[in-house]
Structure 1
Amino acid sequence: MRKFPENFWWGAATSGPQSEGRFNKKHANVFDYWYEVEPEEFYDHVGPDTASNFYHSYAEDIQLMKDINLNSVRTSIQWTRLIDDFETATVNPDGVRYYNAIIDEFIKQGITPVMALHHFDLPVELYHKYGGWESKHVVELFAKFAERCFELFGDRVKDWFTFNEPMVIVDGQYLYQFHYPKLIDGKKAVQVAYNLNLASAKAIQAFRKLDLPQKGARIGTVLNLTPSYPASDHEADIEAGRIADLWRNEMFLNVAVFGEFPAALVELLTKDKVIWESTEEELAILKANTIDVLGVNFYHPSRVKAPDISPNSTANWMPDRYYDSYDMPGRRMNVDKGWEIYPEALYDIAINIRDNYKNIDWFVSENGMGVSQEERFLNEEGVIDDDYRIDFITEHLEWLHKGIEEGSNCFGYHLWTPIDCWSWKNAYRNRYGFISNNIHTQIKTIKKSGHWIKEVSKNNGLK
């Protein structure tokens, strides 16, 4: 039996916009709006209007999470559901009622509620009015929203996270066109990355002003991390990996843990004349408001090689002028999702955090595999035999356990996701949950992996 640390988090993660549905929301977020104007962009034209109906079925859904012995669950508070007026952060009564209800239900069921404040769901009117995360005014509005959340729910929620995967906001909205507004603008992307770091720090500042740490609460951020593995040991490939790491991992991780950007990244962006606009006061806020705890989302490795085209070519600035993606021959794949399977990277992340990031307390905040047409694996008892998911989780936990044994301070593992949920442009094309969801009937059924994790959690370890 591979035992995990005492009080280890065995849980799962979802988000407000991907589970609740759009019921009773006064405002639209960027995905609500994008579905309104371009429904054809979404798989099978399925948008976020219903999602997994968590707004209505939260009590039954949380009971199912308890039935598989999850002891912690992360979700998020939707800015567009909680707040009526973004400028003053006045609240919507139904939003307050709803989030109070789900927090109380989690606690009633013995599940630790873990709350994120932003999961890609910027209010669309703040984009149309101010340019969204391009605007430092929106940074201030986010800090007001965060403070309101702490005031309303901080008496019960003790584990807070400011952002989920801020790097994806930069990539999706401003570089690679997979999130609305689908821009390609390297200069804006750099400023947005800075502003997101600042927004997180200002939320942490508000958290500490309310003395929540003295009441046993902690705050962090959730980053999608992966080492950038060079294609070879050639100097040019290693340099490509170094720069890819600066942009993809260290730009957010360094600020979160140390309160400052990597000097090498600042030097590079300055040389390329795309460096963000900042003030001494802002940089001091970043320095003074670092995280207590880190969430790490990991799905697949990052492999890079030296770029085929010189970085000095005439072109609009993009970070990947310094590296190209590399497909390793013979790699294992989750073909449905198009992602390489490489569990050993989770060990590498654990050791990197141990050696280079203060050995900060951290947990695996997302991991998992999306598989399409899971009804293929329905057995005679009506249960989905998702042995592939059990194998995937087991391998990742084995490498994580090795990192913990070698001194990395990991305190939990959360699968994405507890119940099959709506997934942005992909809608319900791939399924990730311990619990299946028939999106036509909203009937939810525990998969084989759900019964399996129940035993893992009970044993606090792997046989």
Structure 2
Amino acid sequence: MEKKYLFPEKFWWGASTSATQTEGAEPGDGKGENIWDYSSRKFNSRFYDGITSERTSTFYKNYKTDIKLMKDIHLNSFRTSISWSRLIPEGTGKINEKAAKFYNNVIDGLIEEGIEPFMNLYHFDMPMALQEKGGFENREVVEAYAEYAKKCFELFGDRVKYWFTFNEPMIPAEAGYLHDRHYPYVVDFKRAAKVLHNIIIAHCKAVKIYRNMKPGGQIGIIMDVIPVYPRSENPEDVKAAEAADLFYTRSINEPVLLGEYPQELIEILREYNQVPETEEGDLDLIKETKIDLLGINYYKPRRVKAKEYEINKNGIFMPEWFFDSYEMPGRRMNRSRGIEIYPEGIYDIALMIKEKYNNIPWFVSENGIGIEGEEKFIKDGMVQDQYRIDFLKEHLQYLHKGIEEGSNCLGYQMWTFIDCWSWINAYKNRYGFYRLDYETQERTVKKSGLWFRDVIDNNGF
């Protein structure tokens, strides 16, 4: 008989997205420009099909019917973000009352339908007015973020019970200041390290403000965790995997979850003169800051091996000085995105949280599969995305195993609810439970959405 996978009572079943990727812009909405509005227009050739952030999935205009669609597939939770530049167009100063009303209406609408709102304060979308002042390289912007967080707690904290300071805090530093994927397209490790440190300080300040205000909910952060696997048990491969994990996971997880930076990382950065500037009191603030709830985004593993060639030490310092990527023969691939599919990784993360991070309450805040050309799977008006159902089943089975072994996981939210704009990939790959016709903005449920509704009704499958 096929095994049944039942999940804990009151498990969060939902979907997640972000403001910039869904809201779009409407004439007269009062929204200020953020770095995506600017870069998708100014550096348009970097964006798939040249699609800008201005016309994404029109959630700003269609939130009422979209919430009804969430209800139709029985979601009990939904994570999105507040757009800083929509709420405070210049990043500091005057509130955009139209934005405040919009977010109040979204929150109230979700609650009316029995859907718990999870609100994230920052999802890669620095207001352009503050980016021009240096973004998170500038401590003034850290203070501006803290004020923005306070304003959000004041406006919405009476109803929002689950807050998150940042989505994937590593990404603005790594993609924007090291690997030339996101604006401002800087390639400079020391500047990237400074941005990451200042984001951690911004996170700590927001948590402290929330604690002082005592609005009665929980506050946490959303982490992008890519578990690292060595090519072999050869000591040099293992050492390479430890280096990749140190730079890309422990560098952010340990200050946020354990209160201090890994000593091994500090020693490497000192050796290569890459330690970022800090201010007095920073390390004490990091040490004293505790979160209530951790979100984990998981899409793929990272496989590495020992370096095969000597590095050019006259070049730009990179984490990749210490390891090479490894393409494991026979790996399963999502060829639309060029990434490996490895469901076991979610189990390894579950145990890592249990063993390394004090079994903090956590949930899967993103997991999903983006497929190019989904229209070829349409039959009788519905995307027959059995591949997404199979992907979800496998990941949920491994998550269930982690829960059975004592990991304190409280929920699973898939990326995403309706096909959304995916940064530089725009609408190349589709992720949603609902298909978006980009031209008409019509939404139609996919086979996976109906399957997920049954999972929610049965609290498992």
TM class by shorter-chain length? over 0.9
1:123 aligns with one of 107, 121, 127: 127
* SS in structure 1 at match of 2:281: helix
> Which deviations, in whole Å up to 9, do the C-alpha atoms of 1:383-415 show, x marking residues without a partner?
100000000010000000000000000000111
Equivalent in the alignment of 2:102: 98
> Which deviations, in whole Å up to 9, do the C-alpha atoms of 1:297-343 show, x marking residues without a partner?
00010111112233573322111111111110100000011010000
Tell me the distance in 2 between the aligned counterparts of 1:389 and 1:318. Answer: 35
Deviation at 1:135, TM superposition (A): 1.1
TM-score (norm 2): 0.97
The answer as to whether partners of 2:32 and 2:90 remain within 8 angstroms in 1 is no
Tell me the distance in 1 between the aligned counterparts of 2:438 and 2:113. Answer: 25
% same residue = 48
Equivalent in the alignment of 1:155: 158
Equivalent in the alignment of 1:172: 175
Tell me the distance in 2 between the aligned counterparts of 1:148 and 1:332. Answer: 45
Tell me the distance in 1 between the aligned counterparts of 2:42 and 2:155. Answer: 34
Equivalent in the alignment of 2:51: 46
Tell me the distance in 1 between the aligned counterparts of 2:377 and 2:91. Answer: 46
Tell me the distance in 2 between the aligned counterparts of 1:26 and 1:422. Answer: 18
Deviation at 1:185, TM superposition (A): 0.6
Counterparts of residues 58-457 of structure 1 (less than 5 Å) = 58-88=63-93, 90-128=94-132, 130-212=133-215, 215=216, 217-311=217-311, 313-380=313-380, 382-457=381-456
1:31 aligns with one of 36, 49, 67: 36
> Which deviations, in whole Å up to 9, do the C-alpha atoms of 1:325-362 show, x marking residues without a partner?
11101000000110100000100000010011010000
Counterparts of residues 11-30 of structure 1 (less than 5 Å) = 11-23=14-26, 24-30=29-35
* SS in structure 2 at match of 1:461: coil
Deviation at 1:26, TM superposition (A): 3.3
Q: Which amino acid aligns with 1:239?
A: K
Deviation at 1:171, TM superposition (A): 1.7
Moved more, 301-310 or 387-396: 301-310
The answer as to whether partners of 2:24 and 2:60 remain within 8 angstroms in 1 is yes
Moved more, 250-259 or 401-410: 250-259
* SS in structure 2 at match of 1:74: strand
Tell me the distance in 2 between the aligned counterparts of 1:161 and 1:325. Answer: 31
Q: Which amino acid aligns with 2:203?
A: S
> Which deviations, in whole Å up to 9, do the C-alpha atoms of 1:141-164 show, x marking residues without a partner?
101100100010000000000101
Deviation at 1:42, TM superposition (A): 1.2
Deviation at 1:419, TM superposition (A): 0.5
Q: Which amino acid aligns with 2:245?
A: D
Q: Which amino acid aligns with 1:254?
A: E
Deviation at 1:451, TM superposition (A): 0.2
Moved more, 391-400 or 270-279: 270-279
Q: Which amino acid aligns with 1:45?
A: G
- Closer, same or farther in 2 for the Cα pair 1:75/1:150, shift >3 Å? same
Q: Which amino acid aligns with 2:102?
A: Y
> Which deviations, in whole Å up to 9, do the C-alpha atoms of 1:76-124 show, x marking residues without a partner?
0000000144334x31100100000000000011100000000010012
The answer as to whether partners of 2:371 and 2:429 remain within 8 angstroms in 1 is yes
The answer as to whether partners of 2:31 and 2:99 remain within 8 angstroms in 1 is no
Tell me the distance in 1 between the aligned counterparts of 2:292 and 2:206. Answer: 13
Q: Which amino acid aligns with 1:364?
A: V
* SS in structure 1 at match of 2:154: helix
- Closer, same or farther in 2 for the Cα pair 1:37/1:49, shift >3 Å? same
The answer as to whether partners of 2:67 and 2:110 remain within 8 angstroms in 1 is yes
Moved more, 407-416 or 168-177: 168-177
> Which deviations, in whole Å up to 9, do the C-alpha atoms of 1:358-380 show, x marking residues without a partner?
10000000000100111101112
The answer as to whether partners of 2:336 and 2:372 remain within 8 angstroms in 1 is yes
Q: Which amino acid aligns with 2:184?
A: P
The answer as to whether partners of 1:255 and 1:290 remain within 8 angstroms in 2 is no
Tell me the distance in 1 between the aligned counterparts of 2:308 and 2:205. Answer: 40
Equivalent in the alignment of 2:6: 3
Q: Tell me, which stretches of 5 or more residues in structure 1 are unaligned?
A: none
Deviation at 1:183, TM superposition (A): 1.2
* SS in structure 1 at match of 2:41: helix
Tell me the distance in 2 between the aligned counterparts of 1:95 and 1:177. Answer: 31
Deviation at 1:243, TM superposition (A): 1.2
* SS in structure 2 at match of 1:91: coil
* SS in structure 1 at match of 2:267: helix
TM-score (norm 1): 0.97
> Which deviations, in whole Å up to 9, do the C-alpha atoms of 1:161-209 show, x marking residues without a partner?
0101111111211111111111111110111111111111111111111
| RMSD of aligned residue pairs (Cα, Å) | 1.1
The answer as to whether partners of 2:223 and 2:296 remain within 8 angstroms in 1 is yes
Tell me the distance in 2 between the aligned counterparts of 1:247 and 1:170. Answer: 12
